[in-house]
Amino acid sequence: MKSAQLPPVRVTPSVRHQIESVLREGETLSQFVEQAAVQAAQRRKLQQEFVARGRASLARARVTGEYYPATDALEAMRGRLDAGLAAHRQADRASKRRS
């Protein structure tokens, strides 16, 4: 597939200096800008999907009349987060023991 170019972006010298100051060894300004653009597009896609799920959930709730308190939803999310953090910590401890 043929590559395409993004439009040039004008920035102040201070912004360019800020970006150049965080480039990794061997990384070019073009690579940084490309990576930043791809990550921004991915974030926006995730945000759009999140909003779409929320709207679909609201539509279902309006049809069924079944709503859940925010405290219940937050509690469920906290439980999933805590479980994920515990699994991460356990994996980290296991990898340290192996080394």
Residues 14-23 have pLDDT tens digits of: 999 999 999 9
- Are 42 and 58 within one domain? yes
The whole-angstrom separation of Cα 80 and Cα 75 is 9
Q: Is it the case that residue 87 has pLDDT exceeding 80?
A: yes
Kindly state whether residue 82 falls inside one of the protein's structural domains.
yes
How much is the pTM?
A: 0.67
Residues 6+ apart with CB under 8 A from 16: 29
Contact criterion met (CB below 8 Å) for 61 and 67 = yes
- Are 63 and 31 within one domain? yes
**What range does the domain containing 97 cover?**
68-99
CA 84-87-90 angle, to 5 degrees, is 150
- Are 61 and 76 within one domain? no
Kindly state whether residue 52 falls inside one of the protein's structural domains.
yes
- Are 34 and 63 within one domain? yes
Kindly state whether residue 53 falls inside one of the protein's structural domains.
yes
Q: What is the mean pLDDT of the chain?
A: 95
pLDDT category at 12 given cuts 50, 70, 90 is very high
Tally of structural domains, the chain? 2
